C-alpha cells in the first residue's frame, strides 16, 4: 500500500483514530487512516497514494462546523491544520487552507487592512470558510475573496476567480466538485488599525454574550430560511433546552446544539431531525442544515 510507503518517508499517518479528538462537538467515530500534511507536496503525495490504493478520500479543515457520524470514516482522512501559512502583500492577504480564518482576519487587521472584521469570531479554517462561504454579522467570505487555489482529486492544480467560485448563501462550487482548497487570496481595503481591531473586539464580545461558547458545539446548525430566523422558531416550537442524550438545544442560543457531556453524533443527529420535523409541522418550513454531516452511522 502506497500510504504505508509515505509513512515510512516521514509523512504523519495514523490508523483508527477517534475523530472526536478533532471535532468541535467532541463527537465522531474513527478514521481508518488519518494524515496531517505539512505542505502542498505532502498533500499531493497523499492524494496520489489514495488514488493508487483506490481508497476513499475525505479532507477536513478545522472541523468546527462539522458532524462526523459515530461509525467514522473509511479510507484516508486528511486534516489540513498544519498547512497554515499566512502572507500579506500590499492590500492582499493569502492564507493556506488550514489557517484559521480568525487568525487571517487578525493578521489583516494588524496590517491596517479592513474587510475581514466579520470573521473575527468564526472558528473555522480558511478552506472551510471558502467551502461554505462562511459569514457572520452581515459579512460573508465571498465579499473579500479574490481567488482560490485548489487541487483536484487527481492531484491537478488550478486557480478560480471569485466569479468562478459560484458563491451563494453558505455555498461555493467546491461543494459540487472533488477539489481541495489549498489557499485563498483576499482583496482588502486600507483602514485604521485601531478602528479595525475595535470593531473585531466588539463583534467578539457580542458573540461571547450571545453564543454558548462554554460548551462544545458545531456552531450555527441550520441555514436561515428566507424571511425567518431559526432561533425564534425553535423557541416558539417549544424545543429550546430540549435534550437527547448529551446533546441539547442551547438555552442561550436556540440555533446552537451543545454537548452537555458525553454526547454522541447520533444524539446530535436525532435532535437535529426532531427540530426539523417540529419546524415543518409548526411552520411548514424545511430547515436545511448549515453544519456539514459526513461519515458512517454506527453499526
Cell numbers 485563498 correspond to: 184
User: For 103, phi and psi rounded to 5 degrees?
Assistant: -60, -35
Our answer to whether residue 290 is catalytic in this structure is: yes
Closest of 116, 79, 123, 122 to residue 98, by C-alpha? 79
Question: Which residue among the candidates 140, 170, 172, 217 is catalytic per the annotation?
Answer: 170
Report the sign of the C-alpha dihedral through residues 202, 64, 288, 239, in that order. Answer: negative
Residue 104 CB-density burial (10 A; 0-12 exposed, 13-18 middle, 19+ buried)? buried
Grid coordinates belonging to 166: 459560484
Q: Give the span between the Cα atoms of 119 and 104, in whole angstroms.
A: 9
DSSP label at 23? S
Query: Residue 217 region, left (φ>0) first, then alpha (ψ -120 to 50), else beta?
Result: beta
Cell numbers 471569485 correspond to: 162
Closest of 97, 158, 135 to residue 290, by C-alpha? 135
Question: Which residue among the candidates 20, 114, 125, 220 is catalytic per the annotation?
Answer: 220
In the three-class reduction of DSSP (H, G, I as helix; E, B as strand; rest coil), residue 82 is classed as: coil
CA angle 134, 125, 263 (to 5 degrees): 90
Crossing angle of helices 193-210 and 101-110, in 10° steps, is: 150
Q: Give the span between the Cα atoms of 160 and 182, in whole angstroms.
A: 11
Q: Give the span between the Cα atoms of 150 and 152, in whole angstroms.
A: 7
Which residues have a catalytic role annotated? Answer: 170, 220, 290
Amino acid at each position: 500500500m502506497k500510504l504505508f510507503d509515505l509513512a515510512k518517508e516521514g509523512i504523519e499517518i495514523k490508523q483508527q483514530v477517534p475523530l472526536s479528538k478533532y471535532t468541535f462537538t467532541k463527537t465522531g467515530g474513527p478514521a481508518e487512516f488519518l494524515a496531517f500534511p505539512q505542505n502542498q507536496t505532502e498533500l499531493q503525495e497523499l492524494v496520489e497514494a489514495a488514488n493508487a490504493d483506490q481508497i476513499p478520500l475525505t479532507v477536513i479543515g478545522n472541523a468546527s462546523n462539522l458532524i462526523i457520524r459515530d461509525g467514522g470514516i473509511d479510507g484516508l482522512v486528511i486534516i489540513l491544520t498544519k498547512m497554515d501559512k499566512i502572507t500579506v502583500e500590499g492590500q492582499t492577504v493569502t492564507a493556506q487552507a488550514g489557517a484559521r480564518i480568525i487568525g487571517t482576519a487578525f493578521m489583516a487587521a494588524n496590517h491596517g487592512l479592513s474587510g475581514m472584521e466579520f470573521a473575527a469570531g468564526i472558528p473555522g479554517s480558511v478552506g472551510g470558510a471558502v467551502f461554505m462561504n462562511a459569514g457572520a454579522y452581515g459579512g460573508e467570505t465571498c465579499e473579500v475573496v479574490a481567488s482560490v487555489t485548489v487541487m483536484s482529486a487527481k492531484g491537478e492544480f488550478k486557480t478560480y476567480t471569485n466569479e468562478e467560485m459560484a458563491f451563494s448563501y453558505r455555498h461555493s462550487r467546491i461543494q459540487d466538485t472533488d477539489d481541495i482548497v489549498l489557499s485563498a487570496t483576499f482583496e482588502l481595503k486600507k483602514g485604521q488599525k485601531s478602528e479595525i481591531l475595535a470593531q473585531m473586539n466588539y463583534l467578539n464580545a457580542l458573540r461571547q454574550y450571545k453564543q454558548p461558547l462554554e460548551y462544545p458545539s458545531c456552531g450555527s446548525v441550520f441555514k436561515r430560511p428566507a424571511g425567518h430566523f431559526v432561533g425564534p422558531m425553535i423557541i416558539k416550537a417549544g424545543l429550546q433546552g430540549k435534550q437527547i442524550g448529551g446533546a441539547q438545544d442551547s438555552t442561550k442560543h436556540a440555533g446552537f446544539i451543545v454537548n452537555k457531556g458525553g454526547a454522541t453524533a447520533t444524539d446530535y443527529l436525532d435532535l437535529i431531525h426532531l427540530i426539523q420535523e417540529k419546524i415543518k409541522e409548526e411552520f411548514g418550513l424545511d430547515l436545511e442544515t448549515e453544519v456539514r454531516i459526513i461519515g458512517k452511522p454506527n453499526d
